Each structure stands twice: as structure tokens, then as C-alpha cells.
Structure 1
């Protein structure tokens, strides 16, 4: 026991020395294990939340073959994940994408990445919290309504803020509980459906049910249904947000990131296949006669009481997902403020003495999404458009990192962390960029010509507003000049800790 304590102390000292080489001092407690760090990424990716939230839309839009979009997107996002693994292994700094962009390209690039990613996280928190309302209403026997959804969302954000403020160890414990419940629930429910409730033959996974028989063909419908997959496969970057709270982060964070894709993505696909094969009448879903196929499946399989028990697991998944999103947002705000890149940097970069977490940053990461949720009582369509920015904003931030890594490679950067891809790094980097650009183009493509213009072009509009506002703020206020923290040095340094 004593030897373990000595080893842990030596490891923390090495991690502190590594961080000091990178230009920062240790402020957090390093008490998040590999599995706890992975659990944070898993619950952020949340296979249950991702699949359950958009299942009806995806099935109605693309029919059963939409499941293959999850496979393709999973492969593409894994390429992005590998690029991130190389970067975080050399720069295991709190805040993830912001400090990575700072070291790979420079201060201005980092400002834009952090700005876009922060607002995408706020929108995602609001969207996930609002999406939980209908499930809780069904769980307690109420008819879902906008007011109930708003009340549930605000309550969840308040709860996750209080849990996050309790410290990294408490957050990690809750994340592990959420991971166990979600993965166990996904395997049990999915396995039961496949064994006892499967009503469709496996060949249905290739049956379009007549979708796309017109002039356009099936491809446009498949690409539209792929939006569900695009919303699913991120969360691995949250592991890097907590790099200063994890021992031996150069090795552990890349492992946790890859595990998030392997296990989280695998669980999502398992649940998705089980649900599709258990839909009693797929034609009704496509025709719009069954608008809630999830509840239809669960009620048929488990009865009203059993369906409610499954909804308890779904609620735990929503709560865990919100916890991870808020933790990621707060660490990004902290990293921004530590480098004096934003207003109120003093309070936002302050770490509490008792629990060693950025309390003010956590509160802000709760208040701003709550404001978006409240606005839904007055301007529903606009708020829906803002919330939809969550996924596209994260994809933009991701691709700015992928492009930054490619720029750094052209400048001579040779990844110096514990995780390196070697010669194939160039190929993976280019493939990841090509995939990301194609994914973004697909997400912003207008598909509802009869809708009001700000809904049809909602993602593109919110993206332009957010990034244009950030660019103006950056050019006028010059926040990037307020700090002498290291920047633009990825290709110049050879870390001594490797």
C-alpha cells in the first residue's frame, strides 16, 4: 500500500513537471483514472441519448439502411480521433481544442476554435436538456408539453451544475455510474430485443421501403438520415478537456479517446440494429403514422411498467451526458481565461480551494444554456435553430484542429507524445480532413424548401453568426495579445518528457 502511494506521488510529480514544461502550473487534483476519464467521454458520446433522440427522424427519412450511415460516420470520426490522440499526447493541457490549436498554429486560430467550440457546447447542453423533457414526462405519466420540457431542462442543468461543483472525484464517480448504467442498459435492452422481440429479417437493413424512388434516387434520403450519425460520434475530445486531472495523460488520454469510439460507437450500433429489427411496422414510421417508434417498441416488448424502467436508464444517460458536456465546457472556459483570452478571466480561471474545480466557469456553463432553454418559451423555431448549431459547431471546431495538425505537419511538426501514428499520420490526417469537410457540407445542406428561411438555413446561419461575431471580437479586442503563454511552437519543440 505504501509503495502504491509512493508510486502515485512520483507519477503526479512527473505530470506536474510535464505540465510545467508546457508552460503551466498544476492546479487540479489528478485523481481521475483511465476508466473514469473514458467514462466521461462515453457519457458525452452517450449511445442511448444519441440513438433514442433521433431514431424516429432517421428511420422515417432514410428507412432501415440508414444504420449503415452510423458505420461510415464512425470510421470517419475515428480518423479524427486518431489525429486528436497524437496532439493531446504531446499537449495534455486542460481545455482540449483551444490549447491544441494554440500550439499547432497560433493564438488567433486558437481564439476562433475555442470561441466556436464553446458556443457549440452551450447549444448542445441546451439541446440535450430540452430533449430529456418528453422522456421524463412519459416516465411519470404526464403529457409532454413545451412548459414541462423547459422545466425538466432547467432542473437537469441545475442538478448537473451542483454535481460538477462537488469536484473531479465526485464527477468521475457519477460518470462511472452513468457509464455502467448506460452500457448495461444498452446491452440488456438491445440483447432482449434481438433475442425475443425481433420481428424483422436482417435483410430489412437493405430495404429502402420505396424511399427515393423518384428522380433524385435514394442517396439524398440516406445523406439526410445520416444527420443522426453525425450527432452521435463525438465526445472523445472531452477526455482531453480533463487532461490536467488525469495521471500520465500523454498515454492515458489517447487510450481513453479510442476506447470512447470503440465501446461507445459499438454500443450505439448495437442499440440501433436492435431497435430497427424490433419495429413492428416500419411502413407506419415512414408514412408518419407512428411518430414515436421507440415507445412503441419498448411498450410492446416490456409492457407499460417495463418501458418505464427502460426510461429510467434513458434518464440516467441524459443526466450523465449533460454532466460531461458541462465539465468539458467549464474546462474550456478555464483554459481560455487562464491565458487571458476572454473577459472576466480572473473569476473564470479561479480554482476552488475545497474541490479544485473552476466553479465560476461551471456556473457560466450552466447559466448560458439555461438562458437558451428559457428563450424556447417565446421563440421556439429560433431556439431550435440555435440548438442545432451544437453539432455543426463542434464539427467546425474539430476540423479546425484537423487542419491545424496538417498545417503543423507541413511546417515540420513531428508528433512527440507517447502516442504516434508514424508515417501513416499524414494519410490519416488528410482522410480525416476530407471526411470532416464532406460531413459539414452534408449537415448544412438545405433540405426543407417549404420551411421558413431561418429553419432551412439554420445551421449555416448560426455558424456564420457565431464565427463572424468571434472574428470581430478577436480583431477589435485583440484578446490573443493579452497573454505570453506558449503558442505556435509544435514544430519547434521536442518535449523532454517523452
Structure 2
């Protein structure tokens, strides 16, 4: 039997969604815990640390750990800005809807085109990063615990992880919520239990190593390597916005989602820091990792500390996190495409906006989100060294889209917008938003700058920026020629007006009777 409170809450959420111009079509089955779990696993500190550990240490040594703290602080400010917007506009599609309501349809179209590319490539890089750990689980040994996967193994494992995630996602948001909760529990247990064990019983290095570059500065000084290692932090804190992508599947989203996003950054940052510190202090051959002699160091550290059985158990936990992370990215991309198409802003909008009557999810959009990754798997198979540079493009696209929302928020404030949802920064809004923008600009510069390897070809050194410009220019050309925003009559640029209406009603989730009768409802 349904809980009467849940029924009333869902009815009120649906009524508020109607005031925003949309009919409820998705199922509200993602709780606060599940919503936080989805964002946490999309960010996935365990996946991020495992994937970036070797790259960070070989670039700048143990002091790269400070980038985790820097990036967490900057992205927390961004999450506060997002919290104000999603609290007023808890609509599926996240960044697209926020930019549309804060500014305009064309502005939101450009943001979404760039962001969709970033999220889809995120599916690609996460699945590929999982390959080394599948290989270590299947055929790693005490003699060679840190063996890396071959290009062929990476290709096959990435395809398998993507297909499994797609099939599970296709069964509905309840499956996604369950796996997110299981993945969250497994990841936190893996980080906390293993981290404590390493710190208490397996310490081989002093805390002072976090102030020791271990020779990575070379003759040119340490500043350049340290800045180059910014990716360790910047690539970690990406995914908290996924909490907002499933706003129409979450009860009381105007209050739940801001909390989920903030928890994702804070808990994810603490977990990432704890895991990174634990691995560094427990590394029996830290110099070998920094020099690049140990190519897959995390399994090697675990093997020396936990033994073969303990390492295998941890790798199973890690792979659960990888799968849940891929599923979260697939869900976020599909909800964004669905929201985009529902407003008739996407090619073949009718097809992409279809909802499965059985599972209540946008299956066509979900399938479409997984097409490009398969092409990229082929590219990485022939160019295996391109993986980290592709990940840099992914993050550059994501950070740019984030900052488009931050800029739109600043513009709306200048026009008199006072956020009227269940979460507001009040007088601190201006300072927080401006500081978040400053951090975002700095992060984009770090992500766009060329690789420090002068031996690479020009296009390879600048692959992040070149890829971003190709995506942005192709989207701009399509926008100017096709003018997709002209086909849509969905609400846009109404942040000030909507905030005033909400304050008139006196509650961010008005009743059905208070819904505006003249506002067109989109299915």
C-alpha cells in the first residue's frame, strides 16, 4: 500500500512541474539516498583515483594530492550555484533546462550540444579506464599484480561494460536506483575499510612525501609539472550535476537535489582524498610509481598489502563502481537528450522523446547516448595513448557547460532574479557565483592548455582544445542554419517572472489549483 505522504508529495511535485510547463511522464522512484548515490557514483572518487593515480604521480609526484582539495572547493561553489537554479527549476535535463529558463533557447541549445558530447565521452573514458582492473582481476598474479590490459582487451572490456550498463538502464529507473545504492555502499566500504587498513597497518611512507616532488620538476622547476597535474583534481569532480538530470524522477526535487549535489562534492572529495593519501603512504615502491616503472600501481599496492584474495575482492568492488559510474553517465545523457527532444530542439525529436510505457524511461535516447562510445573505442584501440587527452576534452566540455549556467545565473541576477526555490544563497549569492565563475575559467585554461610532451604532434598536444572547438563550431553552424529553437514553444528566459509567481503563491511546490491556466503544458 502506498504511503499517503508519498502520494501527496508526488502529487504536489507533479503540480509544480505543470506550472513550469511540463506534464509528468517519468516515475518518481529515485529517493534522496538514491539521488545522492547517483551523483556520487557518477563522480565516483574510487574510479577517479584509480584511473588517475599513476598519471598524477608520474607527472608531479605526491604533491598532486593538493589538486583534490583545490578542485573540491571550486566545484562546491558551482554546486551551490546549481542548487539555487535546480531548486526553482527541478526539470529533467538539468543544465539544458537551467540555461533555457535563465537565458534563452538558443543559449541552452549550444550549452546542451557541448555538454552532451562531454557526457557521452565520459561513458567512453570510464569504460576504458575499467579495463586494467578487469584484466588484473582475471589474470593478475602475485608476480605481476600491476599488469596493464592490452589495446584489444581494453576494446572488448569497454564494449562489455557499456552493453551491460545499457541493458540494466533499459529496465527502468528503479534498477538504476538500486544499483546506485549498492554501488555507493560498496564504494564507501572499499574506500573506508581499505584506506583505514592501509593507513594503520601498511604505511611505508611519511606524510612528508606530499611536499616532495621526487624529481618530477627536473631542470625547469616544479611549477609546470604541478600545473600539468591539475587533471588529477579537475577530472575527479564531475558528475554532481547528474543529480539534477533525474529531477522528474525524484520526490521533492527542489529541496532534495541541492542537498544531493552538495553531499556529492563534499563526501566524494573526502573519499577521494582519503583513498589517494592511503595509496601513496602504503606504496612499497613509491619511486617506481613516480618514475613510471609500475604502470598499474593500485593493484600492485593492494597485492603487497592485502594479498591475492584481498586484492581480488577489492577489484570486484572497484568494478562495481565502474559499472555504476557508466550507468549514471548513460542515464544523465539520455535524460538530457530526452529533455532536449521534448522541447523539439533535437533532430528527430519525436523519436528521441518517446517514453517506454513499460519502464517509463526514454529508451531511444538511452540507446543514442551509447552510439558514439563504440566509435571512440575503435579510435582508442588504434591510438591507446590518446585516452587521457580524450578525458581532458570531456572535462573541458563539461566545465564550459557548467560555466555557461553560472554566467546565465549572473545575468539573471543582474536582471533582478532572486532564486525562489527551497534552496537559496541569499545575500551570498553574488559572491559565490562570481567566485565559482573565476574558478571555472581557471579550470578551463588548465584543461585546454597543450600536453607538456613536446614530442607529440601538434594536433595531439592540443587535442582537448581542438576537439572542443570542433564540437562547438559544428553545433554553432547547425544552430545558425537549422535554427532548432524556432520549432520550440517551451518556456524560456522566465527566471525573474517565475520567481515572483512562486513568491506570490508562497510555496515552491504549488497545488494544482494554483497552476497557471495559460501556460502551455509539454508532454
Does the pair score TM above 0.5?
A: yes
- Taking the aligned partners of 2:363 and 2:447, their CA distance within structure 1 comes to 34
Q: Judging changes above 3 Å, is the alpha-carbon distance between structure 1 residues 454 and 42 closer, same or farther for their aligned structure 2 residues?
A: same
Q: Which residue of 2 aligns with 1:411?
A: 415
Q: Which residue of 2 aligns with 1:58?
A: 56
Alignment map for 1:436-455 (pairs within 5 Å): 436-446=440-450, 447-455=452-460
Q: Which residue of 2 aligns with 1:164?
A: 169
Which of 174, 179, 188 lines up with 2:179 in the alignment? 174
Shift of 1:139: 0.7
Q: Which residue of 2 aligns with 1:460?
A: 465
- Taking the aligned partners of 1:383 and 1:75, their CA distance within structure 2 comes to 27
- Taking the aligned partners of 1:480 and 1:362, their CA distance within structure 2 comes to 23
State whether residues 393 and 447 of structure 2, in contact with CA within 8 Å, keep that contact through their aligned partners in structure 1. no
> Over residues 98-141 of structure 1, what are the superposed CA-to-partner deviations in whole Å (9 max), with x where a residue is unaligned?
00000111111100110001000111101111111111111110
> Over residues 436-485 of structure 1, what are the superposed CA-to-partner deviations in whole Å (9 max), with x where a residue is unaligned?
00011011111222211122001000010000010001000000111110
Shift of 1:281: 2.6
> Over residues 136-175 of structure 1, what are the superposed CA-to-partner deviations in whole Å (9 max), with x where a residue is unaligned?
1111107721111111111111111111111111110011
Q: Which residue of 1 aligns with 2:308?
A: 304
State whether residues 36 and 173 of structure 1, in contact with CA within 8 Å, keep that contact through their aligned partners in structure 2. yes
* Larger mean Cα displacement after TM superposition, 136-145 or 35-44: 136-145
State whether residues 132 and 296 of structure 2, in contact with CA within 8 Å, keep that contact through their aligned partners in structure 1. no
Q: Which residue of 2 aligns with 1:469?
A: 474
Shift of 1:302: 1.2
Q: Which residue of 1 aligns with 2:324?
A: 320
Which of 360, 364, 368 lines up with 1:364 in the alignment? 368
Give unmatched runs, 5+ long, in structure 2.
141-146, 509-523
* Larger mean Cα displacement after TM superposition, 27-36 or 387-396: 387-396
* Larger mean Cα displacement after TM superposition, 205-214 or 100-109: 205-214
State whether residues 30 and 245 of structure 1, in contact with CA within 8 Å, keep that contact through their aligned partners in structure 2. yes
> Over residues 179-227 of structure 1, what are the superposed CA-to-partner deviations in whole Å (9 max), with x where a residue is unaligned?
1111111111111110111111112211222332534x32221111121
Which of 279, 284, 287 lines up with 1:283 in the alignment? 287
- Taking the aligned partners of 1:58 and 1:385, their CA distance within structure 2 comes to 14
Q: Which residue of 2 aligns with 1:86?
A: 84
Q: Which residue of 1 aligns with 2:106?
A: 108
Q: Judging changes above 3 Å, is the alpha-carbon distance between structure 1 residues 373 and 332 closer, same or farther for their aligned structure 2 residues?
A: same
Which of 240, 246, 265 lines up with 1:236 in the alignment? 240
> Over residues 305-325 of structure 1, what are the superposed CA-to-partner deviations in whole Å (9 max), with x where a residue is unaligned?
321221111111100100000
Residues 1:199 and 2:204 are matched in the alignment: yes
- Taking the aligned partners of 2:20 and 2:360, their CA distance within structure 1 comes to 21
Q: Judging changes above 3 Å, is the alpha-carbon distance between structure 1 residues 381 and 466 closer, same or farther for their aligned structure 2 residues?
A: farther
Aligned partner of residue 214 in structure 1, secondary structure: helix
- Taking the aligned partners of 1:255 and 1:380, their CA distance within structure 2 comes to 39
Aligned partner of residue 68 in structure 2, secondary structure: helix
Q: Which residue of 1 aligns with 2:73?
A: 75
Aligned partner of residue 451 in structure 1, secondary structure: coil
- Taking the aligned partners of 1:382 and 1:150, their CA distance within structure 2 comes to 14
State whether residues 120 and 390 of structure 1, in contact with CA within 8 Å, keep that contact through their aligned partners in structure 2. yes
Q: Which residue of 1 aligns with 2:192?
A: 187
- Taking the aligned partners of 2:473 and 2:45, their CA distance within structure 1 comes to 33
Which of 138, 141, 150 lines up with 1:140 in the alignment? 138
Shift of 1:49: 0.6
- Taking the aligned partners of 2:200 and 2:389, their CA distance within structure 1 comes to 40
* Larger mean Cα displacement after TM superposition, 291-300 or 62-71: 291-300
- Taking the aligned partners of 1:412 and 1:314, their CA distance within structure 2 comes to 47
Shift of 1:397: 0.6
Shift of 1:273: 0.8
Q: Which residue of 1 aligns with 2:398?
A: 394
- Taking the aligned partners of 1:213 and 1:173, their CA distance within structure 2 comes to 49
* Larger mean Cα displacement after TM superposition, 278-287 or 475-484: 278-287
Aligned partner of residue 3 in structure 2, secondary structure: helix
- Taking the aligned partners of 2:281 and 2:361, their CA distance within structure 1 comes to 45
Shift of 1:368: 2.1
State whether residues 200 and 277 of structure 1, in contact with CA within 8 Å, keep that contact through their aligned partners in structure 2. yes
- Taking the aligned partners of 2:3 and 2:405, their CA distance within structure 1 comes to 37
> Over residues 407-434 of structure 1, what are the superposed CA-to-partner deviations in whole Å (9 max), with x where a residue is unaligned?
1111111111110000111000000000
Q: Which residue of 1 aligns with 2:483?
A: 478
Give unmatched runs, 5+ long, in structure 1.
none
Aligned partner of residue 415 in structure 1, secondary structure: coil
Q: Judging changes above 3 Å, is the alpha-carbon distance between structure 1 residues 383 and 55 closer, same or farther for their aligned structure 2 residues?
A: closer
Shift of 1:492: 2.2
TM-score by length of 2: 0.92
> Over residues 279-316 of structure 1, what are the superposed CA-to-partner deviations in whole Å (9 max), with x where a residue is unaligned?
12322222222222212211110122321221111111
- Taking the aligned partners of 1:200 and 1:14, their CA distance within structure 2 comes to 56
